[in-house]
Amino acid sequence: QMAHQAERQGWHLYLVGGAVRDVLLADSSAELALTDIDLVVDGFYQAAQVGAGVSLAQGIKHSHPEVDLQVYGRFQTAALVWHRDGDSSLASLMIDIATARTEFYPYPAANPEVEASSIRQDLYRRDFTINAMAIRLTQPGAGLLLDFFGGWVDLHHRCVRVLHANSFIEDPTRIYRAVRFAVRLAFQIDPQTEGFIHHALDSGIYTQMQQQVAKVPALQTRLKNELKYILEAAYWQPALGLLDKLGALKCLHSQLAMSERLWHQLRRVSRWIQRFDFEHHLVPWQMRLEVLLAELPKSERSRVAKNLQLPQPTIDRLAHLDHLESDWRQTLPACQTPSQIVQQLRRHDLATLLLVSARHPRPLGQIIWRYLTHWAEVRPPLNGHDLKQLGYRPGPRYRQILAALLAATLDGHIQSR
């Protein structure tokens, strides 16, 4: 429908970006489920008017009122979202429709300015040759592959290659994208492209990123999104290894680098999340990121977390971690009874317990393990309801009696429920 509508207006409609890459990579015998589709509208004889993409999206909304339509004014982009079984939190298909454009970067690492232009220039502003191809969906020439930069050959050589030497200076988050695609698709980063990565990192782009947080918050959002994709993926370990090998963890903080100890901490926190997060409250990628940021000098941790726009509990946890760890290192091993340990730990959430355990397997991790696997489950033989039935009147004494009962149960003086 959209293609017909575009043809009637004298526009071409193109499938672009990752969907083209995935279609060309797909095994022809396997089914390919595209859930995230990018389309670009371009004029037939001249550039399509700004807003052409939005007007096509509005046409779809008109004939499919159940679809969600969002318009991002400044970039003249529209998004159509089909929800799964009427559940507004689950998107089953998302189509972004943009008008072909050129982007100007007013200064490195900035968000682009936009103006209407042609499909070739639109593709030229993309990250890698494998993501810079388009398939025409409109007549004449529907099905035509537009490949101006050698994406097809790179797909066959399994190679991630940028389109120009300044690509990583313009947008350092592309370093993270290069790693993500290389690891996910089992591709190699082209040696010259790797040279551009080193050049960008050596030029101090990461320092610039850290200093420009206030000026370019969008850059930090993109960096956070790339980190999220990497740290939540099944391939997070090889991806993190490659980022470290390239020296790209410097984009987060100039002193951040992987070590054997940090790898152990990350693997430990991942195992403990699986073991203890029964209600799935924790966000594994965020926990892994917390472990990484906890490796920074203590005065820097929460600042970097804030720059990355991580949630407030994460920022607070990192801000108080040092104080809590020194406190626990002194007090927990000195506890004489389980009830004393429970009294200290029960005030803290699972994320805090896991973070500290991952960083200090002995003795803190051992104590916390015992707490989580055993003591946290212990219940006294009587509860508030029983006390009421025994004739006690509800009041502040209740809490004291129940606490004393719990302590006596934990310490083995009475049998648990």
Residue 28 DSSP one-character state: T
From the list 111, 72, 103, the residue with the least C-alpha distance to 219 is 111
Nearer to ligand ATP, 149 or 375 (CB): 149
Burial code (b: 16+ CB inside 10 Å, e: under 16) for 323-348 equals: eebeebeeebeeeeebbbbbeebeee
Q: Which of 126, 136, 301, 359 binds ligand ATP (CB under 6 A)?
A: 126
Spatial separation of the C-alpha atoms in residues 378 and 101, rounded to whole Å: 63
Q: Which positions ≥6 away from 408 have C-beta within 8 Å? A: 339, 380, 414
Q: Kindly indicate which of the ranges 2-10, 141-149, 172-180, 296-304 contains the residues binding ligand ATP, using the contact rule CB under 6 A.
A: 172-180
Q: Output the smallest distance, CB 7 to ligand ATP, in A.
A: 24
Q: Output the smallest distance, CB 179 to ligand ATP, in A.
A: 12
State the residue number with the nearest CB to ligand ATP.
18
Q: Kindly indicate which of the ranges 42-50, 169-177, 293-301, 345-353 contains the residues binding ligand ATP, using the contact rule CB under 6 A.
A: 169-177
**241 is a contact residue toward ligand ATP (CB under 6 A):** no
Nearer to ligand ATP, 127 or 295 (CB): 127
Nearer to ligand ATP, 122 or 244 (CB): 122
Q: Which two tokens stand for residue 405?
A: 């009962």
From the list 233, 257, 240, 254, the residue with the least C-alpha distance to 179 is 240
Q: Which two tokens stand for residue 159?
A: 């190679």
16-75 binders of ligand ATP (CB under 6 A):
17-18, 36, 38
Spatial separation of the C-alpha atoms in residues 102 and 122, rounded to whole Å: 5
**174 is a contact residue toward ligand ATP (CB under 6 A):** yes
**131 is a contact residue toward ligand ATP (CB under 6 A):** yes
Nearer to ligand ATP, 42 or 295 (CB): 42
Q: Output the smallest distance, CB 170 to ligand ATP, in A.
A: 8
**136 is a contact residue toward ligand ATP (CB under 6 A):** no
Asked if residue 182 lies in contact with residue 174, where contact means CB atoms within 8 angstroms, the answer is no
Beta bridge partners of 136: 14
Q: Kindly indicate which of the ranges 54-62, 168-176, 282-290, 360-368 contains the residues binding ligand ATP, using the contact rule CB under 6 A.
A: 168-176
Q: Output the smallest distance, CB 181 to ligand ATP, in A.
A: 7
Q: Output the smallest distance, CB 140 to ligand ATP, in A.
A: 25
Residue 196 DSSP one-character state: H
Largest CA distance in the chain: 89
Nearer to ligand ATP, 37 or 258 (CB): 37
**129 is a contact residue toward ligand ATP (CB under 6 A):** no
Nearer to ligand ATP, 126 or 360 (CB): 126
Nearer to ligand ATP, 171 or 290 (CB): 171
Residue 38 has φ and ψ, to the nearest 5°, of -110, 130
Residue 326 has φ and ψ, to the nearest 5°, of -65, -40
Cis omega (within 30 of 0) on the bond before 140? yes
Burial code (b: 16+ CB inside 10 Å, e: under 16) for 218-243 equals: ebbebbbebbebbbeeeebbbbbebb
- Give the three-class secondary structure for 41: strand
Beta strand 77-83 with 68-72 is antiparallel
Nearer to ligand ATP, 177 or 250 (CB): 177
Q: Output the smallest distance, CB 120 to ligand ATP, in A.
A: 14
Say how many residues touch ligand ATP, by CB under 6 A.
Answer: 12
Spatial separation of the C-alpha atoms in residues 372 and 366, rounded to whole Å: 10
Nearer to ligand ATP, 114 or 355 (CB): 114
Would you tell me which residues interact with ligand ATP (CB under 6 A)? 17-18, 36, 38, 126-127, 131-132, 171, 173-174, 177
